[in-house]
């Protein structure tokens, strides 16, 4: 069975989407509509901006979404039986399985990005990548720290990102190294994504989601919060909202997709990050880029 997977923040690069834009008129029209929906020329930033321009959350997230949906259109969906997305990528996955239109998806992604940036500005905080330690040990040590620090991204075995108050994240990094972590690296982000500190953003996103039409899924989506197949639009909404303050359980999601029959994973969007993670989760499956 074939699964489509969609990347999240961090996969952006200068020039992203230009080849897709030039490839077909229908893709060009789709991408140009994004400028009108967002109210600014995001394509000029995607095609010719600086790295710093692209790193702004309110630019990064819509850019990756636009690229991913354009790539999906370029390959006509590839006839997949299931979809999943890493954090932000879940919105692209919901366009792929018919739950969201491109326009509605982009509006939600933009609102999500603005809400997350506002939460970061109001409460500067941190994230760190922990390498070479069991998930259970990371969870145990985070629970012992005074202050807010939680597992945020279960990327693959031996790679877990933690998120929370800067002092708590720094203390956790020290203790995790003492416990045997190969590395504990503070990430260059000024915010604690997928932690309780995203509560204000969650409330803002929830209001936008409740005003948006969600359709029944044509194929199941394996959402970050539940890690299992979901098709009901009301449940999909709840899981999208919960995702902002809850962890991205990518390892567990991929494992469930494989258990349910996935043998071929195709990454749709910029970069190859998810292909690398999936091979570390299960080296027996096939991975490829859509374009």
Tokens describing residue 170: 């720094």
- With H, G, I as helix, E, B as strand and everything else as coil, classify residue 234: helix
Measured distance CA(90)–CA(24) in Å, rounded: 25
Percent of the chain with pLDDT over 90: 95
* pLDDT reported for residue 80: 95
Model confidence at 9, pLDDT cuts 50, 70, 90, reads very high
Model confidence at 73, pLDDT cuts 50, 70, 90, reads very high
Model confidence at 207, pLDDT cuts 50, 70, 90, reads very high
Tokens describing residue 18: 């230009």
Q: How do residues 32-71 score in pLDDT, each as one tens digit?
A: 999 999 999 999 999 999 999 999 999 999 999 999 999 9
> What sign does the CA torsion over 221, 64, 16, 274 have?
negative
Q: What is the phi-psi region of residue 126: left when phi exceeds 0, alpha when psi lies from -120 to 50, beta otherwise?
A: beta
Contact between residue 41 and residue 88 where contact means Cβ atoms under 8 Å apart: no
Q: Is the pLDDT of residue 90 over 90?
A: yes
Measured distance CA(227)–CA(221) in Å, rounded: 9
Q: How do residues 131-180 score in pLDDT, each as one tens digit?
A: 999 999 999 999 999 999 999 999 999 999 999 999 999 999 999 999 99
Report the mean per-residue pLDDT for the chain.
96
For residue 141, which of 169, 110, 111 has the smallest C-alpha distance? 169
DSSP string for residues in 121-180 = HHS--EEEEEESS-HHHHHHHHHHSSS-EEEEEEEETTEEEEEE-HHHHHHHHHHHHHTT
Model confidence at 277, pLDDT cuts 50, 70, 90, reads very high
The residues that are catalytic are 87, 194
pTM for this model (two decimals): 0.96
Residue position matching structure tokens 């029959």: 261
Q: How do residues 92-121 score in pLDDT, each as one tens digit?
A: 999 999 999 999 999 999 999 999 999 999
Return the H-helix or E-strand segment holding 274: helix 273-281
* pLDDT reported for residue 168: 97
Question: What phi and psi, each to the nearest 5 degrees, are found at residue 96?
Answer: -65, -35
Return the H-helix or E-strand segment holding 222: strand 221-222
Q: What is the mean pLDDT of residues 188-197?
A: 92
């Amino acid at each position: 069975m074939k699964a489509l997977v969609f990347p999240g923040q961090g996969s952006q690069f200068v020039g992203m989407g230009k080849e897709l834009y030039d490839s077909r008129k229908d893709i060009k029209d789709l991408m140009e509509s994004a400028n009108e929906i967002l109210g600014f020329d995001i394509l000029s930033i995607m095609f010719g901006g600086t790295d710093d321009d692209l790193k702004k959350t309110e630019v990064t997230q819509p850019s990756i979404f636009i690229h991913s949906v354009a790539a999906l259109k370029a390959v006509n969906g590839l006839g997949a039986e299931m979809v999943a997305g890493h954090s932000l990528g879940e919105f692209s996955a919901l366009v792929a399985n018919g739950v969201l239109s491109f326009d509605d998806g982009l509006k939600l992604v933009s609102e999500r990005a603005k809400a997350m940036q506002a939460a970061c500005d109001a409460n500067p905080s941190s994230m760190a990548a922990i390498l070479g330690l069991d998930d259970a040990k990371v969870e145990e040590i985070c629970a012992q720290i005074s202050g807010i620090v939680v597992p945020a991204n279960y990327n693959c075995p031996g790679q877990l990102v933690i998120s929370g108050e800067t002092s708590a994240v720094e203390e956790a990094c020290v203790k995790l190294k003492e416990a045997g972590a190969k590395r504990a690296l503070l990430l260059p982000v000024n915010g604690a994504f997928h932690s309780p500190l995203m509560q204000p953003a969650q409330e803002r996103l929830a209001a936008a989601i409740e005003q948006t039409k969600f359709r029944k899924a044509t194929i199941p989506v394996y959402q970050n919060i539940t890690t299992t197949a979901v098709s009901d639009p009301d449940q999909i909404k709840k899981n999208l909202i919960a995702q902002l303050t809850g962890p991205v359980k990518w390892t567990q999601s991929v494992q469930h997709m494989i258990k349910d029959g996935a043998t071929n994973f195709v990454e749709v969007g910029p970069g190859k990050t998810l292909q690398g993670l999936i091979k570390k989760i299960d080296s027996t499956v096939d991975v490829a880029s859509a374009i």
